[in-house]
Each structure stands twice: as C-alpha cells, then as structure tokens.
Amino acid sequence: QVQLVESGGGLVQPGGSLKLSCVASGSGFNIYRWGWYRQAPGKQRELVALITSGGGTNYADSVKGRFTISRDNAKNAVYLGMNSLKPEDTAVYYCNRGRLTTNAPGDVWGQGTQVTVSS
C-alpha cells in the first residue's frame, strides 16, 4: 500500500518562501502524475500544481510565477517551492498521486501539511 509523507509546512511572513516535500513509499512512482492540492477553512480542496511523468507542469492561475512543482524519481519525491507567499495561500496542502493519463486526482493522499502566511 502506497503511503505519502509530507513535510515542510509552517508559519511564514507575507513575501516569504517555503518548500514542501512529499515522499512516497512503494514502487511505480515515476509513471504517475503527481499533484499538490490545498484546502483553506470553509473552502473546497483545489489543485495548486500538477506534474506529469514527463515533467510537464500545470498551475492554478493564483500561483503561476510564484510556485514551482518538481519531482525526483530516484527519491520517490515531489516538491512544491513557494515564493512570494500571500495570506491567501494559507491552507492545508496535500500531496496526491494522480492518474496515468489524465489530470484528475488519484485515490492516494498525504496527511496534509499546514501552511500559514501571516505577519
């Protein structure tokens, strides 16, 4: 059974940076799309960024130019670099193992890591 372990969240001031990490157990990491989602209080979970098996990326409009998703297949890891953070980026961030050929979320989720942007 695949398990995802996230880390890197925390409290940061507006304009600051954080890098989230997600490490997956098991095999087959490299064939899947991987995504980062977030959920703020009272809001639905939303896609933040997605990376395909070939390294192609998609971003939510709200984070384009500020966030960068990357993957390291040798380490079974996916990362989310976040720069120029804003208070509206405050949310619980979740790593997701996506599908093979579509951008829909898959069934495997991490436990979530809290990101709080506040002065």
Could you tell me which residues come within 8 angstroms of residue 2 by beta carbon, excluding any fewer than 6 positions away? Answer: 24, 25, 26, 97, 108
Length of the chain: 119
**Total Cβ atoms within 10 A of residue 30:** 12
Please check whether residue 70 is in contact with residue 19, taking contact to mean a CB–CB distance below 8 angstroms: no
Q: What is the pLDDT along the chain (119 residues), one digit of tens a residue?
A: 899 999 999 999 999 999 999 999 989 999 999 999 999 999 999 999 999 999 999 999 999 999 999 999 999 999 999 999 999 999 999 999 999 988 999 999 999 999 999 99
The answer for residues whose C-beta is within 8 angstroms of residue 65's C-beta and 6 or more apart is none
